[in-house]
Amino acid sequence: MSTAPTKPSRRGLLQGGLGALSTLALGETIALAPGAANAASSRKLVGQRQAKRRANGNGRLKNDYSRATTVKSVCLNCSTVCGIQGHVIDGKLVKVSGNPEDPNNGMSLCAKGQSGPEINTYADRLLYPLERVGPRGSGQWRRIGWDEALDRVASRIRKTIDDGHPEETAIHIGRSRIGEEMTRFLNAIGSPSLFNHRALCSSNKRAANYVSLGETDWETPDAEHTKYILNFGANFYEAHQGAIHVAKRVIKGRFDNGAKLVTFDVRLSNTAGRSDEWWAPNPGSEGAIALAMAHAIMEAGLADRAFLDDWCNVGAAELQAWLKPYTPQWGAQLSGIPAADITRMALEFAAVRPACVAFTNRGSSAHYNGFNNDRAVILLNAIVGSIGQPGGYCYGEEPTRVPPRVFPQPTPRPPAPTAKSAIENPPEWPLANKWQRMKVGQIVFDHLKQGRARLQVYISYTLAAPQTWPEGRSLAVEVLKNESLIPFHVCSDVVYSETAHYADLILPDATYMERWGFDTRNNMELRDYVTLRQPLVAPPGECRSFVDVMIALGQRISPKTAQYFNFKDHEDWMRQRCAGLTARVGEDGFAYMKKHGVWQDLSKPKYYGLYNWALTPEQLKGTRVDPVTQVVWRQAADGRETAVGLVRGGQARRGFATPSRRFQVFSQDVADAAKAQAFAEPYGAGMPGYFAVPSIAAMGPDHLHLVTFKWNVHTQGRTASQKYLSEIVHHNPLWMHPTAAAARGLKTGDLVELTTWRGAAHAYKHVTGKPGDVVGKAVVPVFVTEGIHPRVIAMSNSLGNFAHGRAANGRRGPRGDFPGFDDAVIAEDQDLSEDMWWGSGQGLWSRLTGAGNGLGSGYNINAILPIYPSPLVGMQGWYDTTCTARRV
C-alpha cells in the first residue's frame, strides 16, 4: 500500500493532536476521504483488468468522435442540472460533455455527470412493465404489456374519481423534474395528493429565503466577484444544488479577488479542506454563530445602517437592540468557537462590504432549528447591505421555474383540485406550504399508518424511500408492504430499486438521457434562463418516459381528463410550450431550444440591486401609494389589493416581494404561525433568534451526534448502480475523531454498534414511539480521522443498497434470470459478471481490515435516523440524531 499518510487539517482547529494518529495501525495509510484511497488503488486493478481484456482480444475501441452527432441536453445525475451535450455514434451514447452555452457550468462536468451514460446500458436495468405475482416484497414478477399495465392503473384511478375520493390517488416523488406535468395530471383527476421530498432536502432554507426576501427560494451568491464568503454548512466543492456553478466561481473569486473562504462544517469536507479557515461548530449552533457575528458588526459600527433603515422592516437601532443579548461570548458558548474568532471573522466580513456573502446549505438548514439558523445567516447579508449587490447575496425574479410568460402551458388547463389531503397539507406545519408546496415528506408513511388519510392508488416516482427517508428501512418499508394502507403501488424507476421491490406494478422509465423536459436553476449570471432536456438516444426495450405514461393515462381515464391531454406526447407538449419563444429568438422556438439546449433572457439587465429597480409606467398603472408605509398598492378587478412596490428616494421602486415590500427581519406570518401552533420561542417574536435542538439538549456525556454527508461521486440513492462511481466509492465507514475512538477503544476498521434515540419534537407524535425511545441499532466499521468534530460521527448516506443490481450490491456474478432484463436488448456486462473487484469481502477495505463479506456495498444509516420535523416548516432534522457507540 502506498497511499499518502493522513495529514492534519491545514488550518484545523480541533483539539486532539496528531499524536493520536500514531496509535492507528491502519488509519495512517488512509487519506482523510476514504474514497480517495480506494480510487488510488483501483487504478491498478482497472489496469490489470484492461490488460486482461486486451489479451483476450476484447479491448475497447477508441471512439471516432468525427463521426459523432452532438445533442444538447441537461444532466440529472444530481439536482445541479448542468447543461450537457451527448456525443452519439451509431445510435449509442458514447460520452457526455458540458454544454458550452450553459451559463452556469459551461464545459465543466463532474464525475457523476460523466458517468451518466452508464445507467442507459446498465446490464441490470429494467426493460419491461412488470406485475407482481408473489406476495408483495417477495420479488416475484411477470412481464406484461403496456396496454395491460395502463388499463390496470387507469381503472384504479377511475374508481377513486367515481368514489368521490380523487385524493386517494397519490403520487409520491423524490427528486423529480417534471413537477408541472405531474401537477397537471393530478389536477386533471382532481387529486391534491402530490407528496414530495422537499422537507428531506431544503424546506428550512427555502422558507428562510421566502420569509426574508419573498421572491427567491435559493440564493445566488455572486461568488466570482466576492471578497469574503462565510459558508455555513455547504459542501459545494462536492455536493450542493449548484455544485459546479458555485465552485467554479468561488475558485475564480479566490484567485482574482483574493476572496477569503470560511467554512463551518462539523467534518473536513472537500470544501472545508480547501477553505482558508475551517471551523467545526457544535451541530445546530450555526444560527448562534451568525447572530453573534451580527451583534459584533452592529456594535463595531460596521453595519450598513442606511440599508437597514431604508429597506428593512426593522431599522438599525431596533435591530441593534434586538441583537444585544447575542454576544460573541454567548455564541462561543453554544458553538465552541472562540468569541475572539467570531468577532474577528465578523469584522473581516463587514470590512469588505458589500462584496461579501454569507450562505448556507444542509449543514445549517437540516436541523430542527434550521429555519432559524438560515434566517440568521441571511440577516448577516442584510446587515452589511450585500443583498443583491455585486459580490454579495444575490437573487433573481424567477430563478427556479420555467417562466410561464415565455413557455405557457397548452390549454385547456385543469383547475386546481378542491379535494383535500391531510398528508399533503398537515396543519401542524403551517409554513410548509405557505410560499410553495414544500410539504412534510418524511411524515407520509407515519401518517398513513396513523390513518390520517386513506389511499387506493400510490404511484412512486424517482423515490428511494427505503434508502433515503429517515426510518426508511423500518417504517417506510413496513407501510410499503402493508396492502391495506397501500392497496395498489405503481412504481416508476429505471432499475429494480428498493422502492420497486415493494410495488405491485413496475413501469420502466426512460432515463434523463432518453426523455424530454425543461429544467432551470439559479443562474449564477443573474438572468432568467431555461434549459431543454431532450433524448440523446432512444430508451431500450419497452422503457417509456413517465410523462408519456401520464399523458396516456390522462387520455384513457375519462373524456373529462382526456381534454387536458390533447397533445400527442411529451415531445409535443414541449414543442407547444416552446412556441412562445419563437417571437423572441426570431426562429422556431422548439428548434432553437433543441439546437442550443438553453435560452437566456437577455432582454433584462442582470439582477443586481433588483429591489431598487424603478417600477415601469406599465407596472405603475392603477396603483396608489400608502402615505404612511410608502408601500405601492395595486387593485385587482375583484377589489383586492396587492403590494407591488415601495417609494424610496421619491420614486416608486420594486422593493422586495414580501408583504411590506421590505427585507423582512421581522415576520408577521411567522409570529402568527407560531402563535397558532403554541410554539413560543423565538418565533413568537417573529424575529430570527436562537433556540436549542431538544434532542441535542438531552444528550448525555457519553453520547455522540450522528450526522451524514454526500460523497462527491455519489448522489443519494441513485448512483450506486453506476459501476464506475461504485468502483471509486463503494464503502462508507463511520468517521470518528481520535478522542472519541480512544475513549471507546476503537481503531480504524473496528466495528462499532450505534444506538439512536428519538428526540422531543414540537407537534410531531410518532405513531409508535415517544421521546427517549430507541430508534434503532446498527453495527458499522469505523474510520478514525482528525477531520471531524470530537463529538460528531458521520457516515455518507449513499450506499448500502439491497436492490439496484449488482454494481450497487457489490455482488459479482452472472445476471439473474429475471423477466425485467433481456440479453438481446442490453448485453451482459463482463465488468459485473466477472471483473468486479470490490464487494463481498474482496474490496480494499476488506483486505485492509480483514473484515469479511458484505462490506462491498456499504451501509444504510438512514435505517436508524429518526423522523424529526422542524417546528412550523417541517423540514427533517437530519443532523440532530444522538446516539451511543460501543465497540463490538
Ligand X SMILES: Nc1nc2c(c(=O)[nH]1)N[C@H]1C(S)=C(S)[C@@H](COP(=O)(O)OP(=O)(O)OC[C@H]3O[C@@H](n4cnc5c(=O)[nH]c(N)nc54)[C@H](O)[C@@H]3O)O[C@H]1N2
Chain positions contacting ligand X, by CB under 6 A: 78-80, 112, 174-175, 197, 200-202, 233-236, 238-241, 243, 264-267, 269, 281, 283-284, 286, 361-364, 461-464, 468, 492-495, 497, 499, 509, 511-512, 546, 707-712, 714-718, 794, 797, 862, 865, 878-879
Residue 109 within binding range of ligand SF4, rule CB under 6 A: yes
State the residue for C-alpha cell 455544485: 243
Picked from Mo ion, ligand X, ligand SF4, none, the partner binding residue 546 (CB below 5 to 8 A depending on kind) is ligand X
Tell me the β-bridge partners of 169. Answer: 457
Q: What is the DSSP letter of 835?
A: I
Name which of residues 140 to 169 contact ligand SF4 (CB under 6 A).
Answer: none
Binding range to ligand SF4, per CB under 6 A, among 110-118, 202-210, 270-278, 659-667: 110-118
Picked from ligand X, Mo ion, ligand SF4, none, the partner binding residue 497 (CB below 5 to 8 A depending on kind) is ligand X
In whole angstroms, what is the distance from residue 262 CA to residue 223 CA?
A: 13
Task: Answer for the pair 259, 229: CB distance below 8 angstroms, yes or no.
Answer: yes
| Residue (499 or 561) nearer to ligand X, CB | 499
Residue 112 within binding range of ligand SF4, rule CB under 6 A: yes
CB of 94 to ligand SF4, least distance (A): 17
Tell me the β-bridge partners of 421. Answer: none
Please name the residues in contact with 120: beta carbons below 8 A apart, sequence gap of 6 or more.
93, 511, 513, 514, 537, 540
CB of 570 to ligand SF4, least distance (A): 21
- Number of residues counted as binding Mo ion (CB under 5 A): 1
In whole angstroms, what is the distance from residue 380 CA to residue 357 CA?
A: 8
In whole angstroms, what is the distance from residue 331 CA to residue 194 CA?
A: 40
Q: What is the DSSP letter of 831?
A: I
Which helix (H) or strand (E) covers residue 263, if one does? strand 260-264
Burial class (CB in 10 A: 0-12, 13-18, 19+), 255: exposed
Picked from Mo ion, ligand X, ligand SF4, none, the partner binding residue 77 (CB below 5 to 8 A depending on kind) is ligand SF4
Q: Which is nearest to 611 in space by CA: 392, 387, 383, 304?
A: 387
CB of 96 to ligand SF4, least distance (A): 8
Picked from Mo ion, ligand SF4, ligand X, none, the partner binding residue 512 (CB below 5 to 8 A depending on kind) is ligand X
Q: Which is nearest to 180 in space by CA: 473, 551, 450?
A: 551
Residue 201 within binding range of ligand SF4, rule CB under 6 A: no
Strand, helix or coil at 614?
strand
Q: Quick check: bond before 412 cis, omega within 30?
A: yes
Among 33, 126, 244, 547, binds ligand SF4 (CB under 6 A): 244
Picked from Mo ion, ligand X, ligand SF4, none, the partner binding residue 468 (CB below 5 to 8 A depending on kind) is ligand X
* Number of helices (H), then strands (E), in the chain: 32, 29
Q: Which is nearest to 534 in space by CA: 560, 569, 559, 565?
A: 569
CB of 243 to ligand SF4, least distance (A): 4
Among 16, 27, 34, 113, binds ligand SF4 (CB under 6 A): 113
CB of 463 to ligand X, least distance (A): 5
H helices present in 84-163, as ranges: 111-115, 117-120, 146-162
In whole angstroms, what is the distance from residue 331 CA to residue 337 CA?
A: 8
CB of 815 to ligand X, least distance (A): 18
| Residue (239 or 693) nearer to ligand SF4, CB | 239
Residue 201 within binding range of Mo ion, rule CB under 5 A: yes
Among 14, 30, 75, 170, binds ligand SF4 (CB under 6 A): 75
Q: Which is nearest to 549 in space by CA: 131, 154, 120?
A: 154
| Residue (112 or 501) nearer to ligand SF4, CB | 112
Q: Quick check: bond before 403 cis, omega within 30?
A: no
Picked from Mo ion, ligand X, ligand SF4, none, the partner binding residue 286 (CB below 5 to 8 A depending on kind) is ligand X
Question: Where are the extended beta strands (E) located within 78-200?
Answer: 83-89, 92-98, 130-132, 141-143, 169-173, 194-195
The order of strands in the sheet holding 277-279 is: 277-279, 260-264, 228-232, 356-360
Grid coordinates of 882: 444522538
CB of 470 to Mo ion, least distance (A): 14
Picked from ligand X, Mo ion, ligand SF4, none, the partner binding residue 785 (CB below 5 to 8 A depending on kind) is none
| Residue (463 or 578) nearer to ligand X, CB | 463
Q: Which is nearest to 392 in space by CA: 609, 600, 243, 218?
A: 609
CB of 103 to Mo ion, least distance (A): 22
In whole angstroms, what is the distance from residue 143 CA to residue 133 CA?
A: 10
Residue 82 within binding range of ligand SF4, rule CB under 6 A: yes
Picked from Mo ion, ligand X, ligand SF4, none, the partner binding residue 81 (CB below 5 to 8 A depending on kind) is ligand SF4
CB of 248 to ligand X, least distance (A): 15
Binding range to ligand SF4, per CB under 6 A, among 108-116, 427-435, 609-617, 784-792: 108-116
Residue 464 within binding range of Mo ion, rule CB under 5 A: no
Picked from ligand X, ligand SF4, Mo ion, none, the partner binding residue 461 (CB below 5 to 8 A depending on kind) is ligand X
CB of 796 to ligand SF4, least distance (A): 16
Q: Which is nearest to 345 in space by CA: 325, 365, 328?
A: 328
CB of 467 to ligand SF4, least distance (A): 18
Binding range to ligand SF4, per CB under 6 A, among 104-112, 293-301, 547-555, 664-672: 104-112
| Residue (440 or 713) nearer to ligand SF4, CB | 713
Please count the other Cβ atoms lying within 10 Å of the Cβ belonging to residue 309.
14
Picked from Mo ion, ligand X, ligand SF4, none, the partner binding residue 109 (CB below 5 to 8 A depending on kind) is ligand SF4
Among 41, 77, 226, 664, binds ligand SF4 (CB under 6 A): 77
Residue 78 within binding range of ligand SF4, rule CB under 6 A: yes
Which helix (H) or strand (E) covers residue 468, if one does? helix 465-468
CB of 312 to Mo ion, least distance (A): 30
User: Which residue sits closest to Mo ion, CB atoms considered?
Assistant: 201
Q: Which is nearest to 465 in space by CA: 512, 497, 425?
A: 497
CB of 721 to Mo ion, least distance (A): 19
CA angle 835/464/414 to nearest 5° reads 135
In whole angstroms, what is the distance from residue 538 CA to residue 92 CA?
A: 9
CB of 174 to Mo ion, least distance (A): 9
Q: Which is nearest to 771 in space by CA: 781, 780, 756, 759?
A: 759
Residue 234 within binding range of ligand SF4, rule CB under 6 A: no
Binding range to ligand SF4, per CB under 6 A, among 63-71, 109-117, 285-293, 832-840: 109-117
| Residue (432 or 551) nearer to Mo ion, CB | 432
User: Which residue sits closest to ligand X, CB atoms considered?
Assistant: 174
Task: Answer for the pair 799, 732: CB distance below 8 angstroms, yes or no.
Answer: yes
In whole angstroms, what is the distance from residue 290 CA to residue 357 CA?
A: 12
- Number of residues counted as binding ligand SF4 (CB under 6 A): 12
Task: Answer for the pair 125, 118: CB distance below 8 angstroms, yes or no.
Answer: no
In whole angstroms, what is the distance from residue 314 CA to residue 310 CA?
A: 9
Give the CA dihedral 290, 296, 302, 306, nearest 10 degrees.
60
CB of 843 to ligand SF4, least distance (A): 24
Which helix (H) or strand (E) covers residue 642, if one does? strand 641-648
Binding range to ligand SF4, per CB under 6 A, among 78-86, 192-200, 352-360, 750-758: 78-86
| Residue (218 or 228) nearer to Mo ion, CB | 218
CB of 797 to ligand X, least distance (A): 4
Task: Answer for the pair 839, 449: CB distance below 8 angstroms, yes or no.
Answer: no
Residues that bind Mo ion (CB under 5 A): 201
**Residues near ligand SF4, by CB under 6 A:** 75, 77-78, 80-82, 109-110, 112-113, 243-244
